[in-house]
Amino acid sequence: MSIAARTARARGGRSPVALALVLLFIAFNATVDLYWGRHAHELPALAAQGAPIARVFQSFAVADRGYFDHVTKAELGLYILNSTLTLGLLLCLLAALLRRWRIRVPLQIITGGCMAYQVLSYWWCALLGGFPAMDEKTLGHFALFVAGGLPWLLGGGYLAWDGAKVAVAALERLGGGSGLRNLGANERASLSVIAFFAVIAYTLELLWLYHAFDWPLQTGFWANMARYYGMGDRAYWDQPSYFEVGLESFNVFFIVSSELWLGYAILRRRAYRWPLELCIGGFLTYSVIYYFTVKIAFPQMFTQDIASYAMLIVPNLPWLFGGAWWIWDAGGTILKAVRGAD
């Protein structure tokens, strides 16, 4: 599709594939996903009684019992977010697509990025844990495991990609900022945020990952810091699991890498830096909200008091606010470009 055609679609058209995907995801959330959330701990009994949806989950259980009879905080946390935040984004995107609002372009990128993050982070945690909810490690079981999340990964990826195409076309038509010799204040701020996240990831977070399962055996300053943070989340002290190791390592190895890519795109004045920033902001914000959701719903604290909840929440706010700021900054820029393409 040419730049002119993409900007024309941004002004008045809409992607029928995107609309179909959004309707499909909403329908699934309102039926199958809602059923799973209401009956998560009684699916084996319902399957034995012949309940159709429970039987479907039973058929996938050999590849992932986390969605049948070994439900954990990871699956329940995703359900809570799917039935609230993700569903809310999908409904807003549906309205924007039907009404042809220009905000549908950044909404597609955010929603698609969050959906892709759900699947990839879940797969990553399962991989690091050795697929503990899988009956047998055979090619067929792995294929079934991947098939369970692939529609959401591909669908979310398509939404983000389709929105990014329209955004880049509008940005390129307006010059994309490539003619500016000096970086703007927001771009310099983005580079500072990227540098901060990278330094923390490749020092403190890597150190925590190295000692994730033996912190109580360690001594010294960093062991004391891990114990102190354990007031809010003992999984980072003496109750670790591959859920926390997975989220932390996914951030270090994948999210930070995408942030460094964003830094390169900013310095090289690439038009795609704005949809990239928006997508990164979306799944970074989503990752923090996911972590908070699980830890508040299933707290791991020495004592559940205000100080413990403050220790859980406050140290993670830079990532929440940083991701939210990227959403605001890039989303506003893309929206202005789409409007300016008229």
Residue in the structure block whose two tokens are 């070994």: 70
Structure tokens that stand for 288 in this block: 């923090």
- The answer to whether the CB of 252 falls within 8 A of the CB of 206 is yes
The ranges assigned to domains in the chain are: 3-173, 185-340
The model carries a pTM of 0.92
Residue in the structure block whose two tokens are 């409904």: 91
Q: What is the DSSP letter of 234?
A: G
- The answer to whether the CB of 243 falls within 8 A of the CB of 73 is yes
Structure tokens that stand for 150 in this block: 């692939």
Structure tokens that stand for 215 in this block: 């912190």
DSSP string, 288-332: HHHHHHHHHHS---SS-SHHHHHHHHGGGHHHHHHHHHHHHHHHH
The Cα-based distances of 137 to 147, 173, 224 in angstroms read: 15, 51, 39
DSSP string, 128-191: HTT-TT-S---HHHHHHHHHHHHHHHHHHHHHHHHHHHHHHHHHHHTTTTTT-SS--HHHHHHH
Straight-line distance from the first to the last Cα atom of the chain, in angstroms, rounded to the nearest whole number = 18
| Residue-level pLDDT, tens digit, the chain, 342 residues | 454 445 445 444 578 999 999 999 999 999 999 999 999 999 999 999 999 999 999 999 999 999 999 999 999 999 999 999 999 999 999 999 999 999 999 999 999 999 999 999 999 999 999 999 999 999 999 999 999 999 999 999 999 999 999 999 999 887 655 444 567 889 999 999 999 999 999 999 999 999 999 999 999 999 999 999 999 999 999 999 999 999 999 999 999 999 999 999 999 999 999 999 999 999 999 999 999 999 999 999 999 999 999 999 999 999 999 999 999 999 999 999 998 766
- The answer to whether the CB of 231 falls within 8 A of the CB of 307 is yes
Element (H, E) at 266: helix 256-267
Name all contacts of 315-322 with Cβ < 8 Å and 24+ positions apart: 315/229, 315/232, 316/288, 316/291, 316/292, 318/196, 319/197, 319/284, 319/287, 319/288, 320/285, 320/288, 320/289, 322/193, 322/196, 322/197, 322/281, 322/284
Closest by CA to 288, choosing from 255, 330, 258, is: 255
- Residue 237: count other Cβ atoms within 10 Å of its Cβ: 20
- Residue 41: count other Cβ atoms within 10 Å of its Cβ: 10
Q: How far apart are CA 256 and CA 195, in angstroms?
A: 10
pLDDT for the residue 184 = 85
pLDDT for the residue 180 = 44
Phi-psi region at 196: left, alpha or beta (left = phi > 0; alpha = psi -120 to 50): alpha
> Three-state DSSP class for 205?
helix
